Homo-oligomer: A and B are copies of this chain.
Amino acid sequence: MSHSDPAGERADVPGGDPLAPADIPDDSVLLTARGIRKSFGDNEVLRSIDLEVRRGEVVVLIGPSGSGKTTVLRSLNGLETPDAGTIDFEGGPSLDFAAPIAKATRFALRDRSAMVFQQHNLFPHMTVIENVIEGRVRVQRVPKKQAIAEASALLERVGLAEKRDAYPFELSGGQQQRVGIVRALALKPQLLLFDEPTSALDPELVGEVLQVIKELADEGWTMVVVTHELSFARQAADEVLFMDGGVVVERGAPAQIFTKPAEERTRRFLDRILRPLD
């Protein structure tokens, strides 16, 4: 019975902050990806990517367009199937893409993480609350009453309580994106994946969304974030990876990457973004 869903239980601790992660941020390794390769036709998009994410850690991916950032996230979320490499979640599942992946395994992978897209991708035919509880009720089979209670708490927390019955088109870009984040949180995943969550927003709306993501980071959520908002990376990231041409060119603490990047390519990229006019 769905009541015995552990994630469900944990979040029901009375008085618990709804934004708090289901997963305890204890610094143990949550995810290990090794030698991830992916080609589309003869376009080799990922050439052996290695990635390790610890519980409670915030990893930021930066890099030029086409470097493979989105493809990495999609691979971790099981939306894309790499040609080679392994992805291991502590506590399972553990996938080796040398062999074809069983359907059940892919679903298991998907359940571990939840993705927030650049274009929010809210369901236009559902109200805000319906968007948020959909996965919880239809997939995780949590009783609707409970799902609504949880969802309301989350919306409350990101300041969208009064929008619960609005349709997506009635929201501003920033509000839509925040609902997108809540929809991901509602599933109580162990890992949050953000793909340029603010790059489709009007500049003055970027702040409200980054704020929420930063709070989640502070609450101890484990997340991988693709973003061009270097100020965010500087403040929130534990580790920054710079990707180019399908490889991780450089990785390290934000302070190091942004102040004295080891690689020329990294420097040039940062310059283009920070000082576009010279």
Contact = CB atoms under 8 A, between A and B. Distances in A.
A121 to B, nearest CB: 19
Contact of A210 (B202, B205, B210, B277): B277
Nearest to A63: B204
Contact of A64 (B202, B231, B275): B202
Given A204-B272, A207-B272, A269-B204, A232 B277 contact: yes
A207 B64 contact: no
Interface in A200-218: 202-207, 210-211, 214
Interface string A203-239: 1111100110010000000000000110110010000
Nearest to A211: B277
Interface residues of A, number: 23
Nearest to A272: B204
A228 B207 CA distance: 14
A214 B276 CA distance: 11
Contacts of A205: 65
Contacts of A202: 64-65, 228
A206 B276 contact: yes
Contacts of A228: 202-203
A273 B205 CA distance: 8
A254 to B, nearest CB: 13
Interface in A20-69: 64-65
Contact of A204 (B204, B211, B273): B273
A248 to B, nearest CB: 17
Interface pairs A-B: 3 shortest CB-CB = A207-B276, A65-B202, A203-B228
11 contacts: A64-B202, A203-B272, A203-B273, A204-B273, A206-B276, A207-B272, A207-B276, A207-B277, A211-B277, A231-B275, A232-B276
